[in-house]
Amino acid sequence: MEPAGVYERIHQFSNRADPYRLYTELRDTPVARQEDGSYVVSTYREIVALLHDPRVSSDRRNLAEPAHADQDALPSAFIGLDPPEHDRLRRLTMRHFGPPHSPGKVDAMRAELLEIITGLIDGVAGRARADLVDDIAYPFPVTVICRLLGVPREDEPRFHRWAEEIVETIGPGEGDRDERARRRQAAVLELGRYLGELAEAHRRDPGDDVLSGLVTDQGPDGPMSGTEVITTSALLLIAGHETTVNLIANGMLTLLRDPPLLERLRREPDLVVHTVEELLRCEPPVHFLPQRVALDDIAIAGVTIPKGASIVLALASGSRDPAHVHDPDRFDPDRPYIQHLGFGGGVHHCFGAPLARLEAQIALRELARRLVNPRLVTDPPPYRPSSTLRGPRHLDIEYDDVIP
């Protein structure tokens, strides 16, 4: 058996705790063809160029050889569509989430977010040990997205299983590819049935939540179809908490490994803004965008990506490209300008970026302020299986006290 290539090794679970040394090797070939015919792009300039290139599609139906296992799945949410379909659905969703129709919606949630995180940190007071994932980083964004969407918080155990199955089968991974696709498809269909029933309940009795807005909107773009409501709400529900869990957990892991920086954040709470941006560059929750397709032959970095080929954008590698940023492997929130690929780019720039930023800022600031002498129990911690959405499964800490 031939030794695994660098891209394959990145996806091996044994390298989950530290894939960055392998990204250094991956960048030696900025655009690398893989055995399955896909092209992995790993350098900052080339990734940015393709994120803004209209010849690059997000619609997997444009693949030269579409995957058989995906044929019976639900239609894609707007993250997997191209303009003009993508633009219409994104506009319809944004009407209930952000500017221009709801410009203050996220910022107005500050007090509510602080209340939620305060209650969660209160919950670990009187103890000497906590799991920052189970106790803080997971329940915080889940509570927020449930309130925002209008999903009953008591249903969390139901959609948690589906969401985890979907997330853990995104992109390449270990195990049989077709089996992973079947597991993903089954979870998507179960989640779709649940959200379809919930959407109908909101149609009969609408509230001031996003899901009610989606099912009752009669704006200039016309209403969403029932299927579009399901796929959009599924995207918001999963993306609205899974990536933020990793951002908060990766952030606390980074701070706990650097006690002087943690102490500085405690003294200088405004530093949290730059800290979160440097986390998005240096320890991002999303490492790959595996769902791009060439609509035409694309010449880039001395390589021609043929029409119909699958393109994988290695965002985490690009953000640590030494051609883009000085001393890229050093975590430094004092960088004069922190430019990263943590939220992607182009027309698919992360829809929930403002909320994710605010949640991470509030969570890290309050944890730094209130935990007394926190320290890691296990380093590295156990990681989740996914190499695409990377973060600790658990983050056990010990601490002396919790400041009221």
Residue 23 structure tokens? 């990204």
In tens, the pLDDT along 343-394 reads 999 999 998 999 999 999 999 999 999 999 999 999 999 999 999 999 999 9
pTM over 0.75: yes
Residue of 385, 401, 402, 383 lying closest to 393 (CA atoms): 383
CATH code for the domain in which residue 88 is found:
1.10.630.10
Considering the domain boundaries, does residue 209 fall inside one? yes
Q: Is 375 helix (H, G, I), strand (E, B) or coil?
A: strand
In tens, the pLDDT along 197-234 reads 999 999 999 998 999 999 998 878 878 999 999 999 99
- The whole-angstrom separation of Cα 180 and Cα 188 is 12
In tens, the pLDDT along 15-36 reads 999 999 999 999 999 999 999 9
Strand partners, 398: 129, 375
The H or E element spanning position 254 is helix 226-256
Task: Give the range among 220-224, 267-271, 291-295, 388-392 with minimum mean pLDDT.
Answer: 220-224
Per-residue model confidence (pLDDT) at position 132:
98
> Is the per-residue pLDDT at 170 higher than 80?
no
Q: What is the mean pLDDT of the chain?
A: 92
Considering the domain boundaries, does residue 1 fall inside one? no
- The whole-angstrom separation of Cα 63 and Cα 292 is 9
Considering the domain boundaries, does residue 266 fall inside one? yes
Residue 225 makes CB contacts below 8 A (sequence gap 6+) with: none
Per-residue model confidence (pLDDT) at position 40:
98
Domain enclosing residue 174, as ranges: 6-402
Q: Report percent pLDDT > 90 for the chain.
A: 77
Output the CA–CA distances (angstroms, integers) from residue 362 to 112, 149, 286, in the order listed: 11, 20, 20
Strands 31-33 and 39-41: antiparallel
Per-residue model confidence (pLDDT) at position 1:
41
Domain count of the chain?
Answer: 1
Across the range 88-101, mean pLDDT stands at 84
Residue 14 structure tokens? 């044994």
